Amino acid sequence: MDFTPSAKVTELSGRVTEFMERFVYPNERAHYEAIEASGDRHHRPALLEELKELARGAGLWNFFLPHPGHGPGLSNLEYAPLAAIMGRVVWASEVFNCSAPDTGNMEILAQYGTPEQKAQWLDPLLAGKIRSGFSMTEPMTPGSDPTQLKTRAVRDGGHYVITGRKWFTTGAMHARVLLVMAVTDPAASRHKRVSLLVVPIETPGVRIVRALPVFGHVSGPGECEVAFEDVRVPQSALLNGEGEGFAVAQARLGPGRIHHCMRAVGMAERAVEMMARRARTRMVVGGLLAEKQMVQDMIATSRIEVHAARLVMLHAS
Ligand SMILES: Cc1cc2nc3c(=O)[nH]c(=O)nc-3n(C[C@H](O)[C@H](O)[C@H](O)COP(=O)(O)OP(=O)(O)OC[C@H]3O[C@@H](n4cnc5c(N)ncnc54)[C@H](O)[C@@H]3O)c2cc1C
């Protein structure tokens, strides 16, 4: 397969790289210092909004959506090199309005949302004005098999009443809306039991319990445990019909999982660069680290592994 980027992607890659060099890398320290100074690990520094304005003004915005009406209209494969560049700084994707879980939520709102859902939630998400969460995974069922979900959404007149518990809802702390997967028909076939509901975060009964640690680390956006206690939403909250939740979620998770890989490749590229730079400047017994054969071998091995990961990621894209 030929992974040579198109002229359009080459041009965009150059512009995203230039933006990162001018505005993102020089602000990395300030970003973390602002979080530190706030005393709240979930604090969102004002700097983020300033950088978003700059990126949006420069037309470096919403690269992830294939629909040309919402951005440059790139395929998943074309998006990959851009996501890798943004992934070099863990919070940079948001600067370009390309961060999870908003990206996946925008994809399905764009594809399946009613005109009202689009006006209320998609438009402000596309503009980077609000954030959102995706509540699928539950403590009591395997996240790898969402056909087993237990959270219920029971019809009550013109409403659904949602009861259950989710966890790992990334970004719930700052979200204005959650897309919630809940069982509407327990007796239906495996892939038709679940529906997706659009739930404003301030709906009575939605309660953020805590942000969970992942490998001992509690992230800025927060992987949240969220309780749904008799949460009443109108029938119009349904996204793409009853029983369609599994299919819609797959449409979202397919590209979404690869997007994580794209960012991880960029992050790994940067780690190798940092390793090589360190080796060229660190004097140890008998000379520079870079002159030690074992160190050269480790750096070369890492370089090969990252390149292989990039090719696998591009192939999957
Ligand atoms: C940083 C982070 C962010 C996340 N963000 C979100 C989010 O925003 N929204 C959301 O809903 N969820 C989110 N998740 C949850 C994620 O989707 C789940 O962790 C994932 O789907 C796996 O589910 P689980 O943790 O319940 O593991 P399980 O499904 O219980 O799997 C446990 C282990 O069993 C293995 N396994 C499963 N099935 C099989 C099988 N058939 N054969 C062999 N091995 C198997 C798995 O590989 C895994 O190692 C997030 C998770 C993390 C770590």
As a three-state string, the secondary structure of the chain is: CCCCCCHHHHHHHHHHHHHHHHHHHHHHHHHHHHHHHHCCCCCCCHHHHHHHHHHHHCCCCCCCCCCHHHCCCCCHHHHHHHHHHHCCCCCHHHHCCCCCCHHHHHHHHHHHCCHHHHHHHHHHHHCCCCCEEEECCCCCCCCCCHHHCCCEEEEECCEEEEEEEEEEEECHHHCCEEEEEEECCCCCCHHHCEEEEEEECCCCCEEEEEEECECCECCCCCEEEEEEEEEEEEHHHEECCCCCHHHHHHHHHHHHHHHHHHHHHHHHHHHHHHHHHHHHHCEECCEEHHHCHHHHHHHHHHHHHHHHHHHHHHHHC
Q: In this predicted structure, what is the pLDDT of residue 67?
A: 84
For the chain (317 residues), the mean pLDDT of every run of 10, in chain order, is 92 98 98 95 94 97 90 93 97 97 95 97 97 97 94 97 98 96 97 97 97 89 95 97 94 90 98 97 96 97 98 96
ipTM, interface predicted TM-score of the complex: 0.96
Residue 144 CA to ligand 1 center (angstroms) comes to: 5
Reported CATH class of domain 132-243: mainly beta
101 pocket-lining for ligand 1 (C-beta < 6 Å): yes
> Closest ligand 1 atom, CA of 138?
26
> Closest ligand 1 atom, CA of 219?
1
Q: In this predicted structure, what is the pLDDT of residue 64?
A: 94
Residue 103 CA to ligand 1 center (angstroms) comes to: 19
Question: What Cα–Cα distance (Å) separates residue 253 from each residue in 162, 190, 195?
Answer: 22, 18, 15
Length of the chain (residues): 317
Most ligand 1 atoms within 8 A of CB, residue of 150, 168, 250 to mutate: 168
Residue 143 CA to ligand 1 center (angstroms) comes to: 4
Q: β-strand 152-156 against 283-284: which pairing, if any?
A: unpaired
Residues 86, 214: contact at Cβ < 8 Å? Answer: no
136 pocket-lining for ligand 1 (C-beta < 6 Å): yes
Q: In this predicted structure, what is the pLDDT of residue 206?
A: 98
> Closest ligand 1 atom, CA of 137?
11
- Residue ranges covered by each domain of the chain: 7-126, 132-243, 249-316
Q: What fold is seen in the domain 249-316? A: Butyryl-CoA Dehydrogenase, subunit A; domain 3 (1.20.140)
**134 residue type, one letter:** F
Q: Which CATH superfamily is domain 7-126 in?
A: Acyl-CoA dehydrogenase/oxidase, N-terminal domain (1.10.540.10)
> Closest ligand 1 atom, CA of 170?
8
143 pocket-lining for ligand 1 (C-beta < 6 Å): yes
223 pocket-lining for ligand 1 (C-beta < 6 Å): yes
Q: β-strand 177-183 against 194-200: which pairing, if any?
A: antiparallel
Residue 61 CA to ligand 1 center (angstroms) comes to: 30
- The encoded tokens of residue 107 equal 């994809």
Q: In this predicted structure, what is the pLDDT of residue 6?
A: 93
> Closest ligand 1 atom, CA of 141?
26
